[in-house]
Structure 1
Amino acid sequence: MLSLIGLFLSIIVLSRILLYNRYFPVRGIACSSMPDQPAEGIMVLDLRAYNESYKNPVPGARNIPVAYLHRYYKEIQHNNIHIIASDKVQRNFGIRILKQKGFQIKGCTIANINA
């Protein structure tokens, strides 16, 4: 009985962590429309999937889908980043990964406004 309660509590804690990383907004990051020209020293990072970014490319943006961030974050050459995401879940998850890796997120743009 005690192990069943422990298992139940473990499931609740793990699901809460997973839900938090994806669905709770990250504070302090302003979302706006894509700037015409990013400020000096800020890299534009496109977190959308390759097939989405191919259909609607952003000139000058580096495309690393959010699923590949853990593997390719070392290819990001600037510390200050403006991200482009396709929806709010992708934005939240991508910002949290990048912050864990030590990057400063200066702003974000959601490419699909209806999301």
Structure 2
Amino acid sequence: MIYLQFILFAIVFSILYKRYFPVSGVQCIDIKNTQLEKRNVLLDLRDYDVSSKDPIPGAVNIPIAYLKRYSHTIPKKEVHVIAENPLEKNIGIRYLRKKGYKVLGYTLTECTCKKAGSAA
């Protein structure tokens, strides 16, 4: 019985970890920084209806729900993730890292970075 409880706890913890714990080593960067567009791939993980109302010039728009299917279309460069909320950010960055992409930073459209380069 104790083994079953431990296995159940481990499964629940891993699900919560992937979704809600912040990704380490990735900084919040203000999207208004023009240097990002030249050297990185801007990857917009927001839904199509949200990103069409507030488009980001030069960004590759692949909603988080389609990331697994269309990740092969992302150029093999350093990636800057644009997400609507921390859940999209965490899931997207972890998936991209698993596929071998180097994620340099992220921007959340719900809030702005307190300081450029601060971890959030």
Q: Quickly name the TM-score band, shorter chain normalised.
A: 0.7 to 0.9
Q: Which residue, 103, 106, 109 being the options, matches 1:105?
A: 103
Map of 2:116 onto structure 1: none
| Aligned ranges 1:1-115 → 2 under 5 Å | 4-34=1-31, 35-113=33-111
- Tell me the distance in 2 between the aligned counterparts of 1:39 and 1:49: 21
Partner amino acid for 1:20? Answer: Y
* CA radius of gyration, larger in: 1
Structure 1 gaps, min length 5:
none
Structure 2 gaps, min length 5:
113-120
TM-score by length of 1: 0.88
Q: How many residues align?
A: 111
- Tell me the distance in 2 between the aligned counterparts of 1:75 and 1:104: 15
Partner amino acid for 2:10? Answer: V
RMSD: 1.6
TM-score by length of 2: 0.84
Displacement after TM superposition at 1:106 (Å): 1.0
